[in-house]
Amino acid sequence: MMRRKRRLSENIIDETDLELLELLRYNSRMSYARLASELGISESAVRKRVNKLVRAGVIKKFTIEYELDNEVRAAILVKTTPPTPVPEVSSKLVKINGVEAVYEVTGENDILVLVRVRSIREVNDCIDKIRSTPGVAATNSMIILKTRVKQ
């Protein structure tokens, strides 16, 4: 079967690679044997593809997704002030304790910060640290009440 290929950076990613990424996205613990069975290729081919995607920086890390009853998660939208470059601000925000991820986004806000901590007080501490970061003009915070993840 002829597979469509896409260029990603300097690497060629085909449909099998995309299917592999999708399987790993939903279960990063899936064995190479199971992945091979799902994709209809050999286990060694799966190993080679995973290694290629890791070396190319496409796969950044293997992780788990979890949710605990005694934690607080928040999404904090951040506006920056020119002339401070957004990447400069986001590189500082990602270093704050409790920050899970930082996204540079389009729209009215420049950055989305996801926070995972143990209390509202810790969320407030994160917000205070974000607001005191040079280049931050304003924040808008939202506590995450419930998470639904595609299975």
- Residue 9 domain-assigned (yes or no): yes
Asked if 84 and 51 sit in the same domain, the reply is no
- Residue 151 domain-assigned (yes or no): no
Could you tell me the CA-to-CA distances from 92 to 77, 82, 99, 129, 144 in Å, in that order?
15, 16, 11, 10, 23
The residue segments making up the domain with residue 103 are 72-144
Site of tokens 């099998």: 16
How many domains are contained in the chain? Answer: 2
- Residue 131 domain-assigned (yes or no): yes
What is the pLDDT at residue 4? 47
Per-residue pLDDT of the chain (151 residues; tens, 9 = 90+): 444 445 554 457 899 999 999 999 888 889 999 999 999 999 999 999 999 999 988 998 887 777 778 899 999 999 999 999 999 999 999 999 999 999 999 999 999 999 999 999 999 999 999 999 999 999 999 999 988 877 6
Asked if 87 and 49 sit in the same domain, the reply is no
